[in-house]
Structure 1
Amino acid sequence: MLFVGDDWAEEHHDVEVQDEAGKVLKRVRLPEGIAGISRFHELVARFVAEDAEPSDVLVCIETDRGPWVRALRAAGYRVFGVDPKQAARHREILSSSGAKSDRGDAHALADMVRTRHHQLLEVAGDSEVAEAVKVVTRAHQTLLWERTRHMLRLRVALRDYFPAALDAYKPLGLTSEPVLKLLAKAPTSAAAAKLTISQISAALKGRRDIAGKAAAIQQSLRGEHLGQSGLVTAAYASTVRALVAVITTLNAEISTLESEVEAHFGRHPDAEIILSQPGIGVVLGARVLAEFGDAPGRYTSAKARKNYAGTSPITRQSGKMRTVHARFVHNDRLVDALHLQASCAILHDSEVRAYYDQLRARDVGHNAALRQVGNRLVGILHGCLKTRTHYDQTTAWSHRSQALIA
């Protein structure tokens, strides 16, 4: 067997090849792209036995996606994508000096896959549909996060020179289309105070109780508030117009990508099973599928899926001291999706709510309780995917009924 450590960068890969005894056979820097992957295959061919299979080559790299990883897997090599923190910890085992280099990282990765490959998560190939879902859902979520960042910048600017806008538009939300139209039309307190009921009503078209909302907005905008000098106000107004333009564009692109998310997710064979889970809609279901993936055998048990999700706790014990903590190393996108699922599920599923209430009665905090609810829901999802069945409340929570009977 050959063990390869691959420390990748945007334009090159530092590669080290070791044999089963840990002897370094070759160190080389390869370019990114077809030329680099061709040289990688030539390098492996120099040291692998004639009767060896591609699966006898184990590659360790700090990523689990991208054209390079896909090419390695297509060649039949076993690829292990490790977390950078895992690699850093193993590097500390090999050397306590704190020295770091690309060659040293490649050496640590090669040693890591040679000595600990049975403990590492092998990159399993997701279907093309799942890969497509991941691309559009991550792009969609990234734009949502970007919109939030720009909204917060907009809020800070308004608070500094036009606080009346925050009071007037709070019920609608700063990212809503009516508020963006009104801010673009009247970005200063003086201009906003001159807005008529008809102008405000036109921006609110499609909303309920337009007359009442328009009157309340006009009254708030015409009230007395602290402000800035004329020159400073004009400067702030320019920044607000720019932020409004950016958020307006983000709103349009988010809507477009949401349609793409729905279309791609609807093509996946697991879509109906995922949508049957409590607290999950189309967009949230697409995120869950994208982050878990659909490669067969990736999660050998419900516990393995929970560990990857970051919902299962970790225990630290030394002598008589024993503490339980949340996992802080996790997939942020997946944790966010599962937290949202748990938040929705406690509102729409009686058994999930009963479990949440039970946790809260034991003085478990809200977020900790949601994390435990999410952990349970991950286990239920794993069972449904494994048995190819939809969520059934009675089956999923039968253990609770049996406990009550006992």
Structure 2
Amino acid sequence: MRSQPAQALHLWGGKKLIYCGIDWAERTHDVALVDDTGQLLAKRHITDDAAGYRNLMDLLAEYGDTEETPIPVAIETSRGLLVAVLRVGKRKVFAINPMAAARYRDRHAVSRKKSDPGDALVLANILRTDMHAHRPLPNDSDLARAIAVLARAQQDAVWNRQQVANQLRSLLREYYPAALEAFAKWDNGLCRPEARELMKLAPTPAKAASLTRTQITAALKRAGRKRGIEADVERLREAFRTDWARQPELVEDALGKQTLALLGQLTAACTAAADLAQAVEEAFPQHPDSEIILSFPGLGIQLAARVLAEIGDDRTRFVDARGLKAYAGASPVTRASGKKSSITRRWVKNNRLNHAGYLWAFSAITASPGAKAHYRRRRDDHGDWHAAGQRNLFNRMLGQLHHCLKNRRLFDEQTAFPAPQAPASAVA
């Protein structure tokens, strides 16, 4: 169904406005265009390739899309090549939560019917009726988006590394507790290169017990150790030769092969995390906001990059600090009905930023006297538990970060956490 494009140009001078909805999929996408009266102007089925993208842009241009007055687009994702194509120029692209889109669908059909063209029409109508209630994708710089890719990938690599390490630890408990005892003294345990080198050399208790001092020394040196080798060699040799319960020989050998397989995954995860961390350390200092963010106590390059990755550098994204705090899940939410009301933590939030905030607040307590005093007041005077106290501290420091980024100022301890004034009676 299509009317004449000239009758519904997307202009802001008193003529009809056009809204676009795209129901995306892996290989094809459905597109719908509606005007400000809700009339369906056009629908199109395009492929997920360069030809399909050209068809989409031609369709938008046919209905009045220009560089100065682009047609806004609603889609259920914020990533991918299609979104990258749409975000060129001044176009506003709205990433609609699929759950929200499903609620809008019920407004148009109580029969609960569903189709891809119908979903595209629903998305277009969301912009027509409620565009003011949805936030367009932020206009972040290319550098900020690149840092976001690296920081999120590094965080995923760290989580994956820990997951594989936990699997390996669980396996070792079944047949090789001597290894866990030997590596328990080292920070990061199984993720240490010394531990991985020794496990590769001796994946079973029988092989570990037969290791000589020379073999252990060579393994530690291959892992990069230069000091304290002799003391560790004796400690490791004693741990490997301690009597423990053993699995049957055939079962032990099979478990050793499984350990080597998991060890390969762990080594790959450790390498990926280290390489991505290096990439973050090279990219993040190039951003103009890096100096301000790093001036805050408790933020190193990796954690600061994660914060920048989630808040971006579009200063118009959050009107005030309250919006940023709600987005991060740092501020509480109030639920009231009649005479009943409750104040609880937020469950709908940016989980990555919230996780970074937990680490940030935890580090700030020891890095900043003012942050530590604020945390202690929340615990002692307000009765907060540890997590609630840290969340309140994160909430306060987010507001300070918003202020510093907006006004281009570095963090100042005295301004952020002024010393409490003594009561007038005490001064007298």
- Answer yes or no: same fold by TM over 0.5: yes
Structure 2: gaps (5+ residues) = 1-16
Residue 364 of structure 1 and its aligned partner are, at CA, apart by 1.7
The answer to whether the 8 A contact 1:276-1:390 is kept is yes
Asked whether 1:346 is paired with 2:388, we answer no
Asked whether 1:360 is paired with 2:379, we answer yes
Asked whether 1:336 is paired with 2:352, we answer no
Give CA-to-partner distance per residue, 1:25-67, whole Å, 9 cap, x none. Answer: 2222211232222222222233349xx7753522111222333
SS of equivalent to 1:195: coil
Cα separation, partners in 2 of 1:334 and 1:403, compared to 1, 3 Å: farther
Pick from 280, 286, 290: which aligns with 2:309? 290
The answer to whether the 8 A contact 2:328-2:351 is kept is no
Pick from 383, 395, 405: which aligns with 2:403? 383
Cα separation, partners in 2 of 1:151 and 1:193, compared to 1, 3 Å: same
Pick from 109, 112, 116: which aligns with 1:102? 116
One-letter amino acid of the structure 2 residue matched with residue 68 of structure 1:
L
Mapping of residues 322-333 of structure 1, within 5 Å = 322-333=341-352
Cα separation, partners in 2 of 1:402 and 1:388, compared to 1, 3 Å: farther
Structure 1: gaps (5+ residues) = none
Give CA-to-partner distance per residue, 1:340-368, whole Å, 9 cap, x none. Answer: 11111111111111111122223322222
Pick from 42, 54, 57: which aligns with 1:26? 42
Cα separation, partners in 2 of 1:92 and 1:402, compared to 1, 3 Å: farther
SS of equivalent to 1:74: coil
SS of equivalent to 1:6: strand
Cα separation, partners in 2 of 1:208 and 1:97, compared to 1, 3 Å: farther
Residue 405 of structure 1 and its aligned partner are, at CA, apart by 7.7
The answer to whether the 8 A contact 2:197-2:220 is kept is no
One-letter amino acid of the structure 1 residue matched with residue 105 of structure 2:
R
Structure 1, 21-30 or 200-209: larger mean CA deviation: 200-209
Residue 321 of structure 1 and its aligned partner are, at CA, apart by 1.4
One-letter amino acid of the structure 1 residue matched with residue 76 of structure 2:
E
Residue 301 of structure 1 and its aligned partner are, at CA, apart by 0.9
Asked whether 1:187 is paired with 2:187, we answer no
One-letter amino acid of the structure 2 residue matched with residue 179 of structure 1:
A
One-letter amino acid of the structure 2 residue matched with residue 29 of structure 1:
H
One-letter amino acid of the structure 2 residue matched with residue 3 of structure 1:
Y
> Which residue does the alignment assign to 1:314?
333
Residue 202 of structure 1 and its aligned partner are, at CA, apart by 3.8
Cα separation, partners in 2 of 1:29 and 1:119, compared to 1, 3 Å: same
Give CA-to-partner distance per residue, 1:316-336, whole Å, 9 cap, x none. Answer: 111121112222222222222
SS of equivalent to 2:272: helix
> Which residue does the alignment assign to 1:395?
415
SS of equivalent to 1:29: strand
Mapping of residues 3-402 of structure 1, within 5 Å = 3-48=19-64, 54-55=68-69, 57-172=71-186, 173-205=189-221, 206=225, 209-361=228-380, 362-398=382-418, 401=420
Structure 1, 88-97 or 105-114: larger mean CA deviation: 88-97
CA distance in 1, matches of 2:421, 2:117: 57
Residue 208 of structure 1 and its aligned partner are, at CA, apart by 5.6
SS of equivalent to 2:330: coil
SS of equivalent to 2:383: coil
Give CA-to-partner distance per residue, 1:261-304, whole Å, 9 cap, x none. Answer: 11111110111001001110011111111111112311111111
The answer to whether the 8 A contact 1:163-1:227 is kept is no
How many residues in Structure 1 have an aligned counterpart in Structure 2? Answer: 403
Cα separation, partners in 2 of 1:24 and 1:374, compared to 1, 3 Å: same
Cα separation, partners in 2 of 1:257 and 1:403, compared to 1, 3 Å: farther
The answer to whether the 8 A contact 2:315-2:406 is kept is no
One-letter amino acid of the structure 2 residue matched with residue 28 of structure 1:
R
CA distance in 1, matches of 2:257, 2:359: 36
Cα separation, partners in 2 of 1:329 and 1:114, compared to 1, 3 Å: same
CA distance in 1, matches of 2:330, 2:96: 19
Give CA-to-partner distance per residue, 1:171-207, whole Å, 9 cap, x none. Answer: 2201100110111001111111122334334444437
CA distance in 1, matches of 2:152, 2:185: 29
SS of equivalent to 1:174: helix
Give CA-to-partner distance per residue, 1:359-389, whole Å, 9 cap, x none. Answer: 2223322222222211111111111100000
TM-score, length basis structure 1 = 0.92
Percent identical residues? 39
Q: CA RMSD in A?
A: 2.3
CA distance in 2, matches of 1:240, 1:322: 53
The answer to whether the 8 A contact 2:67-2:89 is kept is no
Return the index of the structure with the highest Cα Rg: 2
One-letter amino acid of the structure 1 residue matched with residue 168 of structure 2:
L
Residue 83 of structure 1 and its aligned partner are, at CA, apart by 2.5
